[in-house]
Structure 1
C-alpha cells in the first residue's frame, strides 16, 4: 500500500483535493442559493436538491469544459508551435509530428512499447492521437452539459420572473451562455500563456514543470 501511494501520490493528491473542493463548492453554493431564496421570500432547498439542480450543474460544467479546452489546445498546438526557452515547449528542431523512429512506432517500437504502437492504420492513428482526442471529447461533452444545465437554470429564472423561457437555439445565442463560456476560456488561455512564458525565466527547484535552476534561459524543452 505504501508503495502504491508513493508511486501514485500526484494523482491521488489531486483526486482528493478535487473531491474536497467540489464538496466545498457545493456547500458554499447551497448557502448562496438559499440566501437568495430567502431574499426573494422563497423556501430554502436541501443539499440533495441543490447538487442535482441545473444551477449547480451549470457552475460545475462551465469550469470543466474550459479546463479540458485548455488541455486539448495545448496538446495539439505544441505539436507545431514552440516557445524558445520554455520547458513547456518541444525543442525548436522537433516541430511537427516527428519521425516514426523518434516516436518509437512500428518497427522502431521497443520491448516496453505499448501494443498499439506496433499497430498500423486506424488503430495506430487513434492511439497516436488518443490523448488529444479524449481531451477534446471531454471538452465537447462538458460544454454540451454546460449548455443544457445553463439553459435549464436560466429558464427557471425566466419563469420565476414571469418571462418566457428560451428555446435551445435562442439560448445558444444568448449573452448568458457566452458570458459563462468566455469568462472561463480567457482565464485558461491566460494561465497557459503565463506558464509557458514565465517558465523561461523563473524556476522551481525539483519540479518537472521547471527547468533545472542552473539551466540557461534559452534552453528549450528541458525539464527538471
Structure 2
C-alpha cells in the first residue's frame, strides 16, 4: 500500500464510502422522483437534470444538516460536560489540558498559537465553529432545496401558487424533515456515550482499553 494512502486510509475510506453512497442516493432518488412524476402524468427527467432538482438537494442537505449539528454540538458539549465511565468523555477532574496553554507553544505549533491574540481566540474554538458553519450552510441548502421541491409537489397536486423560502421555513413540513433527522443523530451519539462505558472495541481510539474498569473515564 502506498505510504500516502496508508497514512490517510481512514479519510480515504470515509470519503470513498461517502461518494459511493451519494451516487447511489442520486440514482435511487432519480428513479423515485420519476415514479412520482409519472403518477402525475409529467415527463420523466434525465439523471443529470435530476441532480439540479429540489428533490435531490433537499434529500442531501437535510441529512448533512443533522450530521453537522450533531458533530458540532457534540464537540461543544464534550468541552464542558462529562459522563463518568464513558470513553467519549474527558475525566471528571480534568477542567483543561495543560497542552492547551499557549505558553507551551513549540516551533511546530500551529501559527495562530504562536501569534496569539484574535487568531488564537478563533483557533481555540475553530473545530466547533467550522462544524456549526457547515451545519448552517446545510440548513440553508435544505431550506432552498426544500422550497423548490415543495412548490413542485404543490403545483403537480393542486396547481397551488409557489411560496417563498421564508414561508416554507414556517411550515410543519420543513421542521418535520429536520426533527426526524436531528433526534436520530443525538440518539446515536447518546447511545455511543453510554455503551462505551460498558463495551469495548479492541484497537479503536473510540473505546477504552479492554482491561479498563467500567468506572474509568476517557479513552
Q: TM-score range by the shorter chain?
A: over 0.9
| Residue 133, structure 1, aligned to residue 129, structure 2 | yes
Mapped contact 1:66–1:185 kept (Cα < 8 A): yes
2:121 is paired with a residue whose SS is helix
Structure 2 gaps of 5+ residues are none
1:148 maps to 144
Deviation at 1:118, TM superposition (A): 2.0
* TM-score, normalised relative to structure 1: 0.93
Aligned pairs (5 A) from 1:58-207: 58-95=58-95, 98=96, 101-105=98-102, 107-160=103-156, 161-207=158-204
Deviation at 1:115, TM superposition (A): 2.1
- Runs of at least 4 residues of structure 1 off by over 4 A? none
Deviation per CA, 1:2-57: give whole Å up to 9, x if none: 11010000000111111000000000111111112222222211000101111100
1:17 maps to 17
Q: Distance in 2 between matches of 1:149 and 1:187?
A: 22
* TM-score, normalised relative to structure 2: 0.95
Structure 1 gaps of 5+ residues are none
1:221 maps to 218
Size of the aligned set, in residue pairs, is 218
Instruction: Give the root-mean-square deviation of aligned CA atoms.
Output: 1.3
1:29 maps to 29
Mapped contact 1:204–1:213 kept (Cα < 8 A): yes
Mapped contact 1:58–1:147 kept (Cα < 8 A): yes
